[in-house]
Chain A
Amino acid sequence: MGQQVLNGIFLGSIYALFAVGYTLVFGVLDILNLAHAAVFTLSAFIALALVDAGLSLWLALPAAVAAAGVIGIVLERIAFRPLRGRADSNISGLISSLAMATVFEAIALQIFGPDISRFPPDTFPDRVIRIGGATASLLQFCIVGISVVLMAVLTLLLARTRLGRQIRAVAESPRAARILGVDVNRAIAVAFFLSSALGGAAGVLFGLAFNSISPDVGRSVELKGLAVIILGGMGSVPGAVVAGFLLGLIEVFTVANLGSSFRDAVSFAVLFLVLVARPRGLFGQAATREA
């Protein structure tokens, strides 16, 4: 029991980290960025390439996260900014982010090949820690720690800083924000940087945790990320954090009780049930805000 809870928290921290970035962009732009999972994959590969080049993990991780953030800015510039103000930007933004996801996947496939890549065995010290009757590796602890710290930093940044206020203002109404002197394009670019950096961090941690990275690794978290942001409420950062841990726990307990073939069905079941019963999710605002 204790062991399952521990595993759930560990898995959930990665889901939450991934979904926080997802939901941040949705909150600001009202567009689902389907390239988020591709950034997750690319960042994991960048960290792997840096470690392979002889860099210590503690340098490779921040470097890959920063690179992911920059990819996010490029993504926004190419796929989202030109569509701003177009009437159908909801759907066309989805499609153009899908186009970028395809391009990113092609790049990963060309450079790293279709096979599973792994970190070298001595990347992280292999140590086991016991808490009561449950055991966890040092790596798992570090992953939970890093995720929680990053999410706390994001929350503080959004709540307390000038930049965070600007991002929240743009999320509320881009036009009103512009009238009040906010540089809307810059606020959106920053939101993309943060979102992609967190998604990238989740990618590196996921790659370390399961030690297997392939060009389609993002697919496996995409569905979970979607389930988390729906459960947490579209656009709600605290919602995504809570829902991420919740999904991790639900998934671990389902696998323990029903078998591993139900692993991915869990996310879909959660997603669908929330859509039917409470579309606004746990922390979302008005269910359908139209026109």
Chain B
Amino acid sequence: MSDLFLAYESLIAFVFINGLLALSVYATLSCGQLSLANAGFMAIGAYTGALITLRAPAVPFLAVLAASALLPAVVAVPLGLPVLRLRGVFLAIATVGFGEVVRLFFVNWDYTNGALGLVAIPQRTHLWTLVVVLALSLYLFGRLRGSRTGYALEAIREDETAARTMGIHTTAHKLSMLVLGAALAGLAGSLEAHHTFIVSPAGFGFGRVVDMLVQAVVGGTAAFYGPVVGAAFLTVLPELLRELGARLGLAPGPFRLFLNGAILLVVILYLPNGLVSLPARLRRRAREAA
């Protein structure tokens, strides 16, 4: 049992980290906005955490994590404020650009060793840390549902113009969710940095945010736990299918990429509410057949 656990400890850790990242994308999706900046926020959090730990080892880990969540959240405000007043697609565009600029900033910054990144970061993330952080985040989103704010977010997602007519402050709500998503992404980045010992700009490319989005959408964005289910599914699946890919003569990188794209496509076309809606759907089908 303990052998099995050790062999898969890293995989389990990534299930939690990816779950947190998928939730960070879900934050903006829950009010109908698509933000693709989360790899950038994640990078800011990861570098913040790694730099504090390396330069000031005495700072407690909790404070390091708080700083890693705070800085991206602060950065998200000036990014979101002008863009969120516009139609949804502008946020996607501005955030694609933002993510790329953050990555290039770290590539060009000598203080963090440019493209090589920071190495030998002490391991301070434990499995239980991840469990606690993810559980707290899920609790937060769970509480949001059914609350006044939760209903406001749903209204904005369904019809923004109508929501505004009803007196909901749409920009403030959308901005809060962007900031929350940025904080979660930064937190996840810092946790990952303290788990894998390294941070480098290559880990925060556009592919990373696509991964997060795929996991959130595949799991399902109609329920707050959907993104976590999706992250677990898509983190474990390539490991299970590795043998199959090798037998088909596909390299692991392209195979995983292809799997992600194909699954995302199938889900968005045929199962718009994601994997978590599958049981109810199957039950309904069974009832109709009977």
A residues with a Cβ closer than 8 A to B are: 32, 78-79, 82-83, 86, 88, 90-92, 94-96, 98-103, 105-107, 109-110, 114, 216, 219, 222-223, 226-227, 230, 234, 261, 264-265, 267-268, 271-272, 275-276, 279, 287-288, 290-291
Contacts and interface: CB of A to CB of B under 8 A. Distances in A.
A186 B92 CA distance: 28
A190 to B, nearest CB: 23
B84 to A, nearest CB: 10
A95 B86 contact: no
Closest 3 CB pairs of A and B: A102-B261, A106-B258, A103-B261
Interface string B121-137: 00000000000000000
Contacts of A100: 261, 265
Contact of A279 (B90, B97, B108, B264): B90
Interface stretch (B15-23, B139-147, B191-199, B248-256): B248-256
B260 interface: yes
A195 B175 CA distance: 34
A90 B159 CA distance: 13
B92 A32 contact: yes
B59 interface: no
Contacts of A96: 264-265, 268-269
A99 B265 contact: yes
A56 to B, nearest CB: 31
A265 B206 contact: no
A145 to B, nearest CB: 30
Interface in B38-68: none
Given A268-B100, A290-B161, A105 B265 contact: no
B264 A268 contact: no
Contact of B86 (A92, A94, A279): A279
Given A94-B92, A101-B261, A102-B264, 7 more contacts: A91-B88, A95-B264, A99-B265, A105-B261, A110-B254, A272-B97, A275-B83
A223 B254 contact: no
Given A96-B269, A102-B210, A103-B265, A227 B92 contact: no
The secondary-structure label for the interface of chain B is helix
Contacts of A88: 32, 272
A109 B259 CA distance: 13
A98 B264 contact: yes
Contact of A109 (B82, B101, B257, B264): B257
Contacts of B83: 275
B89 A32 contact: yes
Given A106-B258, A261-B108, A95 B96 contact: no
Contacts of A267: 97
A83 to B, nearest CB: 7
B236 interface: no
A147 to B, nearest CB: 23
B89 A79 contact: no
Given A100-B265, A268-B101, A275 B94 contact: yes
Nearest to B261: A102
A223 B98 CA distance: 10
B263 to A, nearest CB: 8
Contact of A265 (B29, B89, B104, B260): B104
21 contacts: A88-B272, A94-B34, A95-B213, A96-B268, A99-B261, A99-B268, A100-B265, A102-B210, A102-B257, A102-B261, A110-B254, A219-B205, A223-B96, A226-B93, A234-B89, A261-B108, A265-B104, A272-B82, A279-B90, A288-B86, A288-B87
Contacts, number: 125
Contacts of B93: 32, 226, 230, 271, 275
B70 interface: no
- Which of B88, B90, B261, B269 counts the most chain A CB atoms within 10 A? B261
B269 A106 contact: no
B175 to A, nearest CB: 15
Contacts of B213: 95, 98
Contact of A110 (B87, B90, B214, B250): B250
Contacts of B262: 99, 103
A244 to B, nearest CB: 16
A226 B32 contact: no
Interface string B222-266: 000000000000000000000000000011011101101110110
- Which of B82, B217, B260, B265 counts the most chain A CB atoms within 10 A? B265
B78 to A, nearest CB: 10
B100 A223 contact: yes
Contact of B88 (A82, A83, A90, A261): A90
- Which of A79, A86, A92, A102 counts the most chain B CB atoms within 10 A? A102
Contacts of A98: 210, 213, 264
A203 to B, nearest CB: 17
A290 B88 CA distance: 11
Contacts of B88: 90-91
A94 B25 CA distance: 14
Contacts of B82: 272, 275-276
A230 B94 CA distance: 10
A219 B206 contact: yes
